[in-house]
Structures are given as C-alpha cells and as structure tokens.
Chains A and B, each alone.
Chain A
Amino acid sequence: MTLSVFVNPELQFSATTFFAKQHKGETCGANGLPLTPNSIILFGKAQFLKTLKNPYLCEYLDIIRGKHERTIVVSQFCGKPLSEYLGKKIFSDSDIIKIAFQLLTALSVLHKNKIVHRNLSTESILVQNSGDIKLFNYGFHYMTNNGQLVSFPIIKLSYAAPEIYLSPLKSHIANSKMDIWSVGIILVELILNKSLWSSLKLSQKIRKILSFYQCGTSVFEKIAREHNCFDVYQNLSAELKHIIEQCLQIDPRSRPTCEDLLKNEIFKEFKVVQRNNPSKVCEKYQIFTLKELYHWWKLAGGDIILELKKQGLIRSSPPILSMPCLVMLDGTVLGQGRNPATLYESKIVQMSLDTLYQRFKHIHLNFCYPLLHCKSDIIAAFDPPHYDTKALPLIIKEKDPEYQFHRIILFRRLLHGYPYTRDMIRKEVEKDIPPLLRGEIWAALLDIQPDYEEIYAMIDKETVTTTDRQIEVDIPRCHQYNELLSSSEGHIKLRRILKAWVHQNTQYVYWQGLDSLTAPFLYLNFNDEAKAFACLSEFVPKYVHKFFLKDNSAVIKEYLAKFSQLIAYHDPELANHLCDINFYPELFAIPWFLTVFSHVFPLYKILHVWDNLLSGDSSFPLHIGLSVLTQLRSKLLTAGFNDCILLFSDLPEVDIEKSINYSNDTFKNTPRSITTREHQNEEYYKTTEYDISGVTLNDLTRERCPRISATDVVDMIRNTPEKILLVDIRNPLQYSRCSVRNSINIPCSSVTYGEHSIENLGQYAQILKNSGDKIVIVIGSTDTDLELFPKFLLNCNIKKVCVLHGGFNILISVTPTVLVSQKFEA
C-alpha cells in the first residue's frame, strides 16, 4: 500500500505544450549579438510563476524546452474543469457566489503580481472534491510576454473582453479589466447553466462579441434573451445581477477591479472564514509539497515528453517531408510549408503517478518523520534502517528517487529549523546535498541572515556607474548555454545583482569573473535575487577575500605561490617538470582561483565542486586546482611549454567526481598551515604566536617548499608521530645539545647539492627515500640555509617536504616540551 501522504487528489499535475515564435531570418539585437530564442526568453519569464502559491491557484512546477522552440509547461492539475459541470449540475446562488469569491480572490492575487490571465474560461477553473476551485494556466499570457513570444492568439473566444478584439496589433498590452469581463461571462454561464454561443462558428462568435459595442442595453440581458433564459435573468437576485452587470460593462473603464468587487456585501461570509492554522508564528509545516513530489516522480522515471508523445500531443512528421527548397544568402527560407504539427493545441495531458506510487510503495510512514534529536539508543533503534547507497557514486545517488526522498525529507526538516539546526545541516552536508534543495542549503551554509531581503531592497541597482559597460559586455558571455542565465530575465537579474554588489562593496572593484562567480547563486536562487546576492556577499569574504581589490596582484600572487608550493608538496615530480619548462600557475590558474572555477567548469560541475567548497575553507580551491593538474598529469609530464599553453587555453574535460574526491583527500591530509596565507580573512582564522605570519611575498615566491607552523608540527609530534619525519639540519653540536624527539640530524653543510641524488645524504638517504606518505619537516635555525636543503629534497622527488616556520627556536617555548637532549639520553 502506498502511503496516503503520496496519494492525494491535490498532488496531481499535467503538462501543456506549444511552440514559441521563431525569429525570422538574420536579425541581431541592439547589442550586436544574436537574438535570444523566444523559447528561452519565455523560459526565464515563466520562472516567476513558480513562486505563486495560493489555495485557489494551481502551482506551476516546471518549464521544459524541447527542440525547435517547443515549450512544455508543467503545472498542478487536480479536480475537474468547471466546464464539465455546466448543464449537468444545478448551481445554487450560494454555489455561484462561492465560486465568484474564490475566482476573484485568485485573480486579485494575480493582478497584484501584475499578471493578467486573459485566457480565463470555465475550462481553466478546476473544481476540487471539496467544492473549492483552483485556477489553472493563468500564467500563459504572462510567460509569453503578453503574447509577444508566440504566434498564436492567447484568448478564449467566448470569454475574451470585446476590447481584446479591437486590437490584434496592440495585443501585448494586458489590462486586468479584461479578466473582469471574463468573470462576468463565466458567472452568466453558471447562472444560465449552459455554455454561451456554443453552436456559433468562429467568426460568428467574434462578431457576436464585437456587436456589444453597438448595443445600448445591458449585455447580460441581451445574452439572457439570446439564450432564451430571460426568465432566469429576471428572477436573479439583485446583488448577483448587479455584480454581473458591472463585470460586463462594455467600456473597461466602467468595470470594477477585483478588489472593488470583493468589497461587495454578498462575499462577506467567506471573508470571515480563515484557514485554520494552529500556529500563529508560521505556516503549517508540510513534510513535502507538490514540488518535491514532482521531483521524485521525475527521478522515478517520469518523463513528460514521453507522456506527451504517447498522448499524441507531440506529433512529428518526418523532417525530410518538410525540407525548404531554397535558402538565400540573407537567410530567407523559401518553399517550406507550415508544419501542421507546430500549430497551437490547448490540450492538457494529465500525468500518471502510478510508477512513483509503485516505487514508493514500501516506504514506511516513519521515514516521513525522521528522528532529528535523539539521545536514547533504544528509541533510535526503532528508527527503520537507512536506505543504503553509501557505495554508489554521487551522480547515481542524485538520480535515486528513494534516496532523494529520504534526503529531501530530512533536509526540509532541518532547513525548517534553521538557524537553530545550522550544525546539523553542516554535518549532513558532508554526505551530500540533494539537488532540489541546494539553493537553500547553500544559503544555510553561508549563514545568510533573515533580513537579507530588506538589505537587498535598499541597495540602489539603477543608477548608472562606470562599471556598467563592462558588466553589460560580460553578462551575455556568462554561462550562456544555461537556459536560465541566457534568458532576458536572467540577464536583468544578473545585472542587478552585480550592480548591487559593486555598490555595496566600495572597497572592491568589478573584476571580470565576478559574473561567473555570481552565476551559480543566481542559477540556484533564480526567483530570489536577494538571496543570490546575500550568498555572493557572504561567499566573497569567506573564499575570495581581497581578490576583488583594485590592485589585487599581491593577493593573487600569494595565492598562486601557495598553489606552486602545494603542487611541490604533493607532487614533486610534476612541480619539478613545470618549473623546468617555466610553466607557472600565473599562466593558467588566475581565472581558476579568481572565480573559484566558476569560469572554468560548466554549472553542473561547479555545483558539485562548491558543495564541497562550502564545507571547506578558502584553501580548498588550491586542492581542486591540484586535482585538475593531477588528472592531466601524464599529459603535462611529457609536454613542453607550448603544449602546456595550448592545453590550458581550452581546458580538456575534467572528471569532476574524481577531482572532488582527490581534493577532499589532499585537503584532509594537508596540515592547515601549509596553505595559510597572509591575505586570508582573519575573521575566519584565529592565529597564535605559533602560527605563520610575517612572510613577505618575495620570500614566499622564492621558496619552493611550503612552510609549516609550529602549531601543526607540535600537534603531529604529539598525536601522529608515525606520520612525520623530522629532519634537523642544524650542525651536530646544536643537535646534540637539544633536539626534537625522534628527529634525525642531517647537517645542511654536510650535503653536496651539485647533483640531485638522494644518495648524497649519506646514512639517512634510505630513510628519506622511503619516507612515502610521511610529512618531511625540515627544522633549521637562523644560521642554516632554509631554502637550499628543502629544494634539494624536492629535486630528488621527495614528497611532502615542508619547513618549520620560525626554525628550531620556536619550539623551545612550547610546553609541555617536545624537545630532548642527546646528552641526557646518553
């Protein structure tokens, strides 16, 4: 038995499809770039509809773009159209008033959001089992930019207000009064209990409506007489009659607005009825909504396009039968007839949820209410066993409906409790992030404050500034393969966020790349610009602190120097090769780190990289950089300078999961201080006297091996002595006087540096050669050369070589001491 929480008559959806208008010939936009395809403009525009939630509105779920400008709209669809009840059911006055009230309420929500239905009819009003209504397909006219993006008319013949017919050319102006007329017609139909002008032909219907312009009397009366229902008209209650008469005013100016109508006395009783909500603080918590159900349905094999094909809504005649005959140089296409399959058809296809029900059949109700806080093992033991997917790759886990069910249920709960559940969210994120909730989870990871919307609203995003030109150039080049980001709506939003950021961060300037950095946030929070901005504002100080200074060269150089050192630390062979051919990170890695790879990878890869980044710190990008190099390692090792330049000019495809796993590994296994920078944001790093500080950029770029802090060294001496190899390079006298426990002594003056052979080290050569994954910490003092010796080790391809910052002396003050004296031991 499938749980009743899934099988809910309101949790149903359907799809409609149509073609956006094709651009004719060769046309360019004002900026000289090719025009955005209409289906993409529409795609961006329609996103807003997903945010509308009201008990009397069907929820929009998804917009899908097919080939050749096909657009598919997925929306909640439940209950039966009102048109099917006409003539079959007697509507009492109170029924009609209730429908009118709900309809007007729904419309007033739309009108407040500057949406005009314009396509209203009894077919787009769905009657629920409860008798309530839901308005369907109300965003059609809105998403097509008031009809401009499609070639067919978006109106319902008998219901359209007469002024709509007056202006086929001006049809992209939509006045909310048009809907009021349609409400009037719908009410008339309900009262007469029949659909109007049903026997008339197309042109007759249009003529009929236009003829109202020449009729002096009441439209309602005229309609009633024409349909032989004058008696019904006469017997109708005065209030209802008055409302209808008002709606059916031929002049839109005289028609009231929804608000006006709702003030009417007869709706009074409905206004008192509030939805019962036990909590006064927040909305009632739902364990999941239709949006989640749709997501699981898709994962469980639901395929909208396939379903539409099955129902015959996507018909395709073979393309070879409709080839054009001639194409002129200017792009004019001749001899290609209109494919009848591309005409508009208003059919609605209801999606079957059976496969999902089947897939979720065995899910226990307990799973819908996961235990979050549990201190009792006994109770925890009653929790049903977890759905095991540990061994599966991330891509598979993201596609597994059942796994995603558990994750989404859990994360929705946790997000509901944010910010109090912040730590639990962080902990869960280490496993993975369910794609559906990524935007919210990221916001939680970035500690977005609840007042983010207000802050954003206060920022001026309009006033012209000097960076506008650059922003304008960059936006149409930013991740344009993505439908959201390439839509006009996406461009507007991206521009506003960037301008807001520049306005808000006067200490910084707009560097190219900031657009790419913003893209993932905008993509995830397309309908919440303020949140995207808030994420960006939190992200920058945390991960790319000071990168956007007007003069960022010191910051970037330091970062790149650290990158070189990290390569040397983990992969001396590669580092030596790159050094030999003079191929420095400056030549390729600046965009990597400036944009945290958002300029390098496609969005779907960035999302996975950043999933991990957000639980790491600002050194994580270095590790990703290293992992990318590691993937190209074999190529790089055999390549010369020119080949390398070529290779990086257009980075080859990178296996991102491999890369992430690798960088997680190196991130975990690299002592923090190896990647510590002077320019990192102090706010996120607490420093003590034992940490690294005061290293000049010159020193840093000269040193090929990284420094390690006393904090890390002492920590490892105490906790993981088996993982380190301490090499004391002071002279034997100093060494014997006092040295670190278990360190070996190779006086740096005893080594011949001429050739890169580890054997030169004499008795300790073997130990270093077999150091394997041990961290080789070179300890010197002010009088020893702290560059030559580590460099020598590096040149001998010894892994994980680092130098203790501050030299031996810094360890003297450490208590309890880690030092021993040879004399005592002797």
Chain B
Amino acid sequence: MAEDDIHSVASYVNDNYEKLIEKEIPIPYTKSVQELAYILITKYELPKYIEKELVKDLTDFIEEKERQFYDTYLEDEISRAKKDPEFLEDLTKQWEKLFKEETAEFADKKCTSDEELFASAYHKLVHSPALETILSVEHLYAKAVRRRTDQKDAFIQDLSEKQTEEMNKAVDDLEHGVTESEINELVAKHYEDHSLLKVRYASELDTLKEAQRREYRDWVMKMLEYNQENSFPQSPNSPLLTPTSPLFSGPDEMIFPERVKKNEVKEPILEESFTIHLGSQLKQMYNVRILTGTVEDLCIVPVSESSDLTPQLLQTALALYSNDLSGLVLITDNKIGSRVTKDFQENCLKSTEFHFSHIDAQLEKISSIANIHMSKNASANGSRSPDSELLQCGDFYLTKHSNLAQVHVIFHLVSDDSLRGSDINSRHPVILGLRNVLKASCSNDITSLTIPLLLQYDITEEMTTMWCERRAELVFKCMKGFMIEMASWGGSDLKNLQFMLPTGISSQVFHSLADMLPRIFKISNPKILK
C-alpha cells in the first residue's frame, strides 16, 4: 500500500486478555481483519479460541475509527461552506471547468473541423477504386509545379548569364570611360533584377500551389459526393473524375526540354532485413532493416515529364490517415528550420502540400510554441542555458507531410558536434532524444521508423571502421533497450525499424554492421517447412 493512501492511523489498544495488545492500524483499513487478528494472536501468544472475539472487537474498533475519520475529514470545509458564499462560488467554477474539460457531455461541442472532414473524405477515396485517379491527379499537379520550377530556374540562369556578360563587358570597359560608381550601380541593378525575378517566380509558384491546393481539395470533396451518390465502385473514367484544370499545365508556350540529369552514378543500395524478437518470456516480433541511403531517397518523389507514379506513393497515401504512420529521424541543429536541413526543406517545396500547411508555416508555428515555452521556463527558473531561445541537444520537433515519398512525419532531432566524437554513451542527450522519439511514435501511432544508425549523414575522416562499429553498437543496444521498454507503454507497437547508413560507406563496414545486428537483436526462429 502506498504511503499516500494512508490517511490516518489509529492505535488499537486492548487489555482484555491479560496482556496489553497494541497495534497501529491505518484508517480507512482495507485489508482483512481476520488476518490482522491472527497476526496479533501470534505476536502476543494469545490462545486461538479468542479469534472470533478479537475479530469482532477489531471490526468494531475499525468501524468506529473510520466513522470518526469520515466525520471529521471535511469538517472545515463544511463549516466554511455554511458561511462563505464566495467559497461555494469558487467551487462551482472549479467543478464546471472540470466537467467542461473532461466530459463529452459538457465539453464545447465542436463540429468536425475542415481538416477532419477532408481527412475522412480522402481516406475513403484512397481506399476505393478512385485511388489511382487521385494519385495521377496529384502527379499531374506535381508535374506542373516542377515545370514552373524548372522554368524559374532557367530564367534565373538566363538572367545570371546575361548579367555576367554585361558585367564582364562593363569591367572590360572600365578603362574606357566607365567609372567605378557606374559599375557599382550596375551591380546594384543586377542584384535588384535578380531578386525581383526570384521573388516574382516564387510568388507565382506560391499562387500556383495555393490554387492547386484549393482546386484539389474541392475536387476531392466533390468526388466523394459523386462516389457516394453513385455508390462505389465505378469506373475511373467517368467525366467528373479527372478535372481538366489549367493548373495542370505550366506555361504552354514554354515546354522545357527535360533537363539533363546530372548523371550520378547511383551507388548500389546495400540492405539486409531481419525479423527479430524481443522480450524474455513473451516474444514480440519486429522487422528490422539496415540499409544505405540518404534522407532524399525516402523523401523525394521523382517528378519529370516522362515519369510515372512510383508504387511507394500508393502505400504512403493509403497510410496517411491510418494508424500506421511512418516516421523519419532527421538530425538537425538547435535552430528551428536550420540551414542544416535546407535540402530537406526544399524537397518539401517541390510539389504542392495538399493536406497540411507547408513546411515554412509549420516551422514558424513550432518556433512560436517553442518561444512561449522557453520564456515561460526562463521566467520560472533561470536554469536553462543563457541562449534560452534555442533548442537543446536531444529536443526534437515534428513536421508532417503528405508529399514525401515514404514518410509522413519527420522528427527533427537536435544534435551538436559532440556526435562526431567517439566517446558518447547511452546517457547522451541525442540517445535520450531517440527514446523520446520512440515514445512519441508509440503514442501517436507511428509504426515505421527510420533512424540514421551512425547519427551522421556524411562520412568524415574520423569515422574509422572502429568508430562506426562502436557507434552502431551503441545505437543498436540503446534502441533494443527502448523497444523492450516500449512494450509496456501501452501505445501502438513499432512494426518496422530501419537503420540507415550513409551511401558512401564501404561494403565491408556495412557488412560488419549488418553482422552485428543479429548478435544484438535476437533473430526469430525461421519456420522450416517439413
């Protein structure tokens, strides 16, 4: 029995049996009186036949004490209530608040938000034959954005080239009467033109995206209505199903040739999968994968004129509003929306975000929430470090996305340079942050998670084979511990865990790390067909 459950203690004294019996009894008494009697009989070496008598005596004593306890515990409040109307008013408010906050009966009735309506519409549609249509429409929109982006890039490049030419000419002419101030003017003008063009296209892009978003959302709602009227399933070729929107096409007059892709020689992806089980008695199964890759691999949806839908998108779309989300841990620094993750942020902007606010807005919101929290904390206790407006190593923020290839939720985990070192241990804030990531996944139905195994994205000099092995071992072991712990959190279970290694890693290191995995996690028995 916990200490705080004992409200009062009564001393039982009885001298009926030629011996003085004394016992402290917690009130209210919740245990068996009969057992108490036997304990006293043994302790005071009393004859057994008094059991019944003693039980009765104890029961009466406890009843009496409990009555006294209940009679007195609210005495003050009752007498106060009798003369203090303000006290009563105060209580009324407290109770009212409690009821309004906690019970559905009295809570402010909110109608379902637009977000939820759209979510359920979308979820229904992607789980119907309309799925393909939806995805291809999304793809068309993405193509349009892509075209516009390409166009913008080309214009800007054009302008840059022109300006460089002009500048070169001006510099060449420096001796022939062109003054330095004129050159400065030219520089200023170039800069201005450049930014003007940029801003113009950026806003044009934003407008396009906003229009696409609106049109798309309307279309989804309409399609749902249509489908409900005509009842599923139906052929995907009905007229309403594919909007012919000007927003699909970019500027017709300029269809840009496919940019020559930087012919990267794709490193072969190394990967190995395991089915493991954890737990000493009850075994829980998990899928664990170790693979080489980059954040981009999981995020970028390839969009080009000729490209078709990728099958992964289908999975991602189906799961978006389900209870099986997939998450990715992205290491960043202590500024929200830091330059460290610039590439990632740009990737998010490559196509229209139809479901959530776009990345900048999300980051802004996070910033403001963080600021409120920090200032509250700072005023409460000055304990957080002087630059309290910044996040600390191990904190993380979340962004959600519908336009990334394989993930819905990004955990932006704050880290610092100490991760480059080789001497971090399981108490390192980033490792503890990973634990919180698991916890957040568990309570928010994120059941697939990808984390960078080395907690680094690039291979540097100091990352020797030794270093990699030590780091991988640490992360494996800590994750194993957290996963075992997670089983008792009562949330959703992690189903897939991916450990990602940088692409450049040598296959020798990869295999040594992949070999380490089954030594740390227990591989489950393969079922052998006999």
Contact = CB atoms under 8 A, between A and B. Distances in A.
Contacts of A67: 490-492
A119 interface: no
Nearest to A488: B2
Contacts of A167: 74, 77
Interface in B28-68: 28, 30, 32, 34-35, 38-39, 42
Contact of A213 (B78, B96, B322, B433): B78
Contacts of A213: 78, 81-82, 88
Given A153-B102, A167-B74, A168-B98, A34 B490 contact: no
Interface string A148-189: 000111000100001101111010010111000000000000
A481 B395 CA distance: 30
27 contacts: A37-B488, A40-B490, A67-B490, A152-B98, A163-B77, A163-B78, A165-B92, A166-B77, A167-B77, A207-B88, A251-B78, A252-B70, A318-B119, A318-B320, A321-B116, A323-B398, A326-B369, A326-B373, A327-B398, A329-B395, A329-B436, A331-B436, A338-B101, A343-B104, A344-B102, A481-B487, A653-B525
A551 interface: no
A68 interface: yes
Contacts of B94: 168
Given A163-B77, A326-B395, A65 B277 contact: no
Contact of A203 (B32, B96, B102): B96
Contacts of B490: 37, 39-40, 65, 67-69
Interface in A325-377: 325-329, 331-335, 338, 340, 343-346
B217 to A, nearest CB: 15
Interface stretch (B182-190, B254-262, B437-445, B454-462): B437-445
Most B CB atoms within 10 A — which of A34, A39, A327? A327
A471 B238 CA distance: 71
A210 B84 CA distance: 11
A153 B445 CA distance: 28
Q: Which 8 interchain pairs have the tightest Cβ spacing?
A: A152-B102, A329-B394, A318-B321, A602-B282, A319-B445, A345-B104, A166-B77, A213-B81
Contact of B102 (A332, A343, A461, A599): A343
Contacts of B110: 340
A173 B75 CA distance: 14
Nearest to B319: A320
A319 B444 contact: yes
Contact of B365 (A40, A68, A325, A599): A325
B444 A323 contact: yes
B98 A486 contact: no
Contacts of B323: 316, 318-319
A206 B282 contact: no
A458 interface: yes
B396 A325 contact: no
B454 to A, nearest CB: 21
Given A460-B39, A653-B283, A203 B396 contact: no
Point out which of A39, A321, A333 has the most chain B C-beta atoms below 10 A from its C-beta.
Answer: A321
Contacts of B155: none
A457 B393 contact: no
B143 interface: no
A114 B490 CA distance: 30
Interface string A437-467: 0000000000000000000011111110000
B157 to A, nearest CB: 38
B400 interface: yes
Contacts of B71: 252-253
Interface in B427-457: 429, 432-433, 436-437, 439-440, 443-446
A321 B119 contact: yes
B245 to A, nearest CB: 27
A602 B91 contact: no
Contacts of A166: 74, 77-78, 81, 91
Given A324-B440, A329-B433, A461 B35 contact: yes
Interface of A: 34, 37, 39-40, 65, 67-69, 114, 151-153, 157, 162-163, 165-168, 170, 173, 175-177, 202-203, 206-207, 210-211, 213-214, 251-253, 316-329, 331-335, 338, 340, 343-346, 457-463, 479-482, 486, 492, 599-603, 650, 652-653
Contacts of B373: 326, 328, 332, 334
A324 B444 contact: yes
A163 B88 CA distance: 11
A327 B394 CA distance: 9
Given A168-B94, A481-B281, A319 B370 contact: no
Contact of B400 (A211, A320, A459, A600): A320
A74 to B, nearest CB: 19
Nearest to B89: A207
Interface string B372-415: 01000000000000000000111111101000000011000000
B485 interface: yes
Nearest to A654: B525
A324 B444 CA distance: 9
Contacts of A318: 116, 119-120, 123, 320-323
B246 to A, nearest CB: 31
A329 B491 CA distance: 20
Contacts of B98: 152-153, 168
B95 A168 contact: yes
Interface in B474-492: 485, 487-492
Contacts of B437: 327
Contacts of A68: 443, 490-492
Given A166-B81, A320-B325, A343-B104, 16 more contacts: A163-B78, A170-B73, A202-B99, A206-B91, A211-B88, A251-B78, A252-B71, A324-B440, A326-B398, A327-B395, A327-B439, A327-B440, A345-B103, A345-B104, A481-B281, A652-B524
B201 to A, nearest CB: 31
What range describes how many residues of B lie at the interface?
35 or more
The dominant DSSP class at the A interface is loop
A214 B400 contact: no
Contacts of A252: 70-71, 74
A208 B460 CA distance: 73
A482 B39 CA distance: 32
B392 A328 contact: yes
Nearest to B37: A457
Given A170-B73, A324-B440, A345-B103, A153 B119 contact: no
Nearest to A481: B282
B444 A327 contact: no
A813 to B, nearest CB: 49
A600 B32 contact: no
A153 B125 CA distance: 40
Contacts of B365: 325, 335
B105 interface: yes
B328 to A, nearest CB: 14
B85 interface: yes
B252 interface: no
Contacts of B350: none
Contacts of A317: 116, 119
B343 interface: no
A486 B42 CA distance: 32
Given A167-B77, A214-B82, A463-B39, A601 B281 contact: yes
A327 B397 CA distance: 6
Contacts of B370: 326, 334
Contacts of A602: 281-283
Task: Find the residue from B38, B81, B85, B487 having the highest chain A CB count within 10 A.
Answer: B81
Contacts of B88: 207, 210-211, 213-214
Contacts of B82: 213-214
Contacts of A334: 369-370, 373
Nearest to A175: B70
B307 interface: no
B96 A481 contact: no
B393 to A, nearest CB: 7
B71 to A, nearest CB: 5
